[in-house]
Structure 1
Amino acid sequence: MPEVFCVDAVGARIGIDLSGLDEVRAAAIRQAWADAAADGIPDVVVTPADAPVESMLSGLSQLVTITAIDAARGQAWMLHAAGLANETGEVVVLVGPSGRGKTTASRVLGREFGYVSDETVAIEESGRVRAYRKPLSVIEDPALPKAQVPPSAAGLRPLPDATLRVCAIVLLDRRPDHDGAPEIEVLDLGDALGDLVEQSSFLTHADAPLQFIADVASAAGGVRRVVYREADELVPVIAALMDAGPAVLPARTTPAQSGWEPASAALPQAVASTPGAAPRFRRADWADHIELHDPDRVAVLSVDTRGRGTVRVLAGIAPAVWRAADGASLDELAAAAVAAYGTPPGPDAAPAVLVAVGALLDAGLLVSDEPRLRRRDDVAWVDRDDRVYALALDDVDGRPRLLEGTAAVLWDWLDDPVTLTQLSARATEQSGALDHRVAEDVAVFVAELVDLRLVAPVGEPGH
């Protein structure tokens, strides 16, 4: 029967198979992972690599972490972060990319507070925190892999005998030239979302993840940024945050209850059903969104074909455009923007809305029923001195078409599939003047390129 050593990693029980190891390597694993040892039947069993002790322990740490995060996906908000707890279980979560001082701060502060993790902190819907007291990776010899040291052996304090609950989310910003006491700033959630999402694992596997982040931030009194120089200066800051007590999270709101449903599928990229009809626009598939106020914004989480999530915060007139894009025309989107924000000074709203729609199309947040256009493959062209000479290869009697200025720029944009709306929006924005005549000129020019067999809708002969 295999010998399995079980550890607790962000709530998952990971079994480490010791059966094929000699006693020296088995003992090294038990010692390194002593602070995370757990009873019970493992959820997943992993096998250490057959390697020297130092390399085996280093690889095992990564293997357990990846396995544990995968096992816990969809069950909690998992942050690549450090966590510290006081005696009653209030946890301050320290977030930051590599180089911002997170690891150093967690090890310094872990001598003053209960050490939760320096790798991953998982926050459940109730606000409960899952600890991960993995071995610390310590450089003892630059020529060797990092040593794996249990937190207790490094002088870090044990977990309190209490339920761990989140009380604060802190973005660390260590600056060697910072002068004076640490500076604390409560951030607008829209400004903090990018950093939080970047440091999150499997965010797109959770239900309404942006709403949960917003709930945690609100219950914790906002996301804070702390600018500091030395980690030991953070002790009173962390203590004060813990004294405020745990964050009390509201009952969850599912996407269906929020009143917004993701589009079931993108509109087909084909010519509009009625010849000459104005294009219509719809929100592309999205995983979650939250409304941000003062000023009015919308944060949208979308997922690419590889399952990677991206959050974009829409500002200006884009929120009204995105909300109204449910099979709407440009005129209807302009009316929605005016209704939300009033009539703009100077030119009418249509060109500004066109630019906003183009940006949302470029970002993959809107789709339209327009054909996507691209340069034909059977076209010869050269780019010389910011001028383009293009000729359809089947036009034996033709002459190369000279494209310069804006025409040459449009030709460059047609390297990838793009709609007429996107081309018109980009040209309008680049012109610096919100003038509807720019879009009209682009439409005439593109139609000419199609007639000359230099450009064609994707899917037609020539591609």
Structure 2
Amino acid sequence: MPDPLRIEALGHRLEVEVQALPVEQVAALRAQWSRCAPDGADTAPATNVPLSDIEDPVRRDYALSSAVTFAAIRQAAGTGVMLHACGVATDTGEVAVLVAPSGTGKTTAAARLCAREFGYVTDETVLIQPDLTVLPYPKPLSVVLEADDPHHKQQHGPDELQLRTPPHSLRAGALLLLDRIDRGGRDEDAPHPATVPTLEPVGLIDAMMTLIPQTSSLTALDQPLTALAQLIVDLGGVQTLYYREIDQTSDLIEQVLNDRGSTPPRFTSVPGSSDPVDTGHTLTDDEELSLQRAPFDDAVVCDDEVLLLAGSVPLRLSGLGATIWLAAEQPMSTPELLDVCRTAHGEHPQAPDLVRSAVDDLVTVGALSPVGR
């Protein structure tokens, strides 16, 4: 009876029972996952990952890859920021984290960049701990076989593809958003033709709004928005990498990893509050009400904007909305909020209506709660 397939993923031990498979298929799986094999002397307990009963070995192997990734993410939840990204490492262990949605180039980037210049960290999920340590996940690369069936993917181990091995100790060095411009002509809204690879800085709140959908288990972190913002600051900000051929980006990626002279963005953290408020009232024209921040989990303030998290949904506030929300840490009446807005933004002939409309909007989206006075 063959031993289980033992895998180390994102710092956790997983185990797959493979005794039902033919010997040659077991050997193929072990080859695919060779770089995720734990130290032979390690006896730490492992989480079992069931093997799919799909008969097609190609589809079964891809299903296993997905199941291992999901299991590893569950085990690692709350230990760091996890991003849907490929990770490529220099010979000194500096990792460029290349973030992109599924099906938009992460695997291709890993395969091309790690064939010669960089060490292969992962093509799927990068886990960055608070001290910027990166936990490797050198899983098999999932390569689409048919363009019209994006979930039909064949697994190729990094050893099979002869990808370079990174150093043992890894540390995040840069956060880049991948944006591939199609060869047949660029989107008219794209800021660069990208005939050569181009970098463009991304503001903190814009970067967070782009990154949040590409995270896993972000809300398992204490102060999740603060953790993500601090990561961005620690890495000197986020840049978008526009390119046509990923092979042409190596020098630019090296440059970003070596350049620590950029000025990181600044932000203020607003810890969440779960204090109950009376939401049994609705705003009326003839009733005196105060308004206060509704319960929320975390918020960050940057450049007069607020990014707020309540549950799993981020809410971006700017202008009057941000001013009102920041002022409403304690209950305030609409006239009091009007005075705050006039002080912050100056006089306006329609100020009362504008502030009232902004208050109504904040109540509607659940950022403010009316309380009786």
TM-score in terms of structure 1 length = 0.70
* Corresponding residue of 1:21: 21
* Corresponding residue of 2:207: 192
Code of the aligned partner of 1:155: Q
The structure-2 alpha-carbon separation of the partners of 1:49 and 1:291, relative to structure 1 and needing over 3 Å to count, comes to: same
Deviations 1:372-416 (A, max 9, x none): xxxxxxxxxxxxxxxxxxxxxxxxxxxxxxxxxxxxxxxxxxxxx
Take 1:287 and 1:27, find their aligned partners in 2: how far apart are those partners?
47
Take 1:2 and 1:155, find their aligned partners in 2: how far apart are those partners?
27
* Corresponding residue of 2:188: none
The structure-2 alpha-carbon separation of the partners of 1:130 and 1:246, relative to structure 1 and needing over 3 Å to count, comes to: farther
Give the superposition deviation at 1:361. Answer: 1.9
* Corresponding residue of 1:373: none
Contact 2:78 2:218 in 1 (8 A): yes
Give the superposition deviation at 1:355. Answer: 1.4
- In the TM superposition, 1:25-424 aligns within 5 A as 25-39=25-39, 40=42, 41-52=44-55, 53-111=57-115, 112-140=117-145, 145-161=152-168, 163-176=169-182, 177=185, 178-244=193-259, 260-270=271-281, 277-293=287-303, 296-303=304-311, 309-325=312-328, 326-339=330-343, 341-347=344-350, 349-369=351-371
Take 2:103 and 2:2, find their aligned partners in 1: how far apart are those partners?
41
Take 1:129 and 1:74, find their aligned partners in 2: how far apart are those partners?
14
Code of the aligned partner of 2:167: P
Code of the aligned partner of 1:83: G
Give the superposition deviation at 1:245. Answer: 6.4
Q: What is the DSSP-based 3-state SS (H/G/I as helix, E as strand, rest coil) of the residue aligned with 1:153?
A: coil
More RCO (CA 8 Å, sep 6+):
2
Give the superposition deviation at 1:278. Answer: 1.3
The structure-2 alpha-carbon separation of the partners of 1:101 and 1:59, relative to structure 1 and needing over 3 Å to count, comes to: closer
* 5+ long unaligned stretches in structure 1: 304-308, 371-463
Contact 1:165 1:246 in 2 (8 A): no
The structure-2 alpha-carbon separation of the partners of 1:312 and 1:45, relative to structure 1 and needing over 3 Å to count, comes to: same
Identity %: 34
* 5+ long unaligned stretches in structure 2: 186-192
Q: What is the DSSP-based 3-state SS (H/G/I as helix, E as strand, rest coil) of the residue aligned with 1:317?
A: helix
Take 1:166 and 1:262, find their aligned partners in 2: how far apart are those partners?
31
Give the superposition deviation at 1:36. Answer: 1.1
Code of the aligned partner of 1:300: L
Higher strand share: 2
The structure-2 alpha-carbon separation of the partners of 1:135 and 1:219, relative to structure 1 and needing over 3 Å to count, comes to: same
Take 2:209 and 2:282, find their aligned partners in 1: how far apart are those partners?
36
Code of the aligned partner of 2:3: E
Take 1:265 and 1:297, find their aligned partners in 2: how far apart are those partners?
25
Code of the aligned partner of 2:155: Q
Contact 2:221 2:227 in 1 (8 A): no
Take 2:270 and 2:207, find their aligned partners in 1: how far apart are those partners?
25
Code of the aligned partner of 2:132: G
The structure-2 alpha-carbon separation of the partners of 1:2 and 1:207, relative to structure 1 and needing over 3 Å to count, comes to: farther
Larger Cα-atom Rg: 1
Q: What is the DSSP-based 3-state SS (H/G/I as helix, E as strand, rest coil) of the residue aligned with 2:172?
A: strand
Code of the aligned partner of 2:198: E
Contact 1:15 1:42 in 2 (8 A): no
Take 2:349 and 2:281, find their aligned partners in 1: how far apart are those partners?
35
Contact 2:106 2:124 in 1 (8 A): no
Give the superposition deviation at 1:102. Answer: 2.8
Take 1:37 and 1:82, find their aligned partners in 2: how far apart are those partners?
19
The structure-2 alpha-carbon separation of the partners of 1:344 and 1:100, relative to structure 1 and needing over 3 Å to count, comes to: farther
Give the superposition deviation at 1:211. Answer: 1.5
Give the superposition deviation at 1:127. Answer: 0.6
Take 1:118 and 1:95, find their aligned partners in 2: how far apart are those partners?
10
Code of the aligned partner of 2:340: A
- Which 10-residue stretch deviates more, 67-76 or 134-143? 134-143
Deviations 1:98-132 (A, max 9, x none): 35433322221111200111100011011111111
Give the superposition deviation at 1:22. Answer: 3.6
Contact 1:8 1:36 in 2 (8 A): yes
Code of the aligned partner of 1:291: V
Q: How many residues align?
A: 351
Contact 1:96 1:171 in 2 (8 A): yes
TM-score in terms of structure 2 length = 0.86
Give the superposition deviation at 1:141. Answer: 6.7
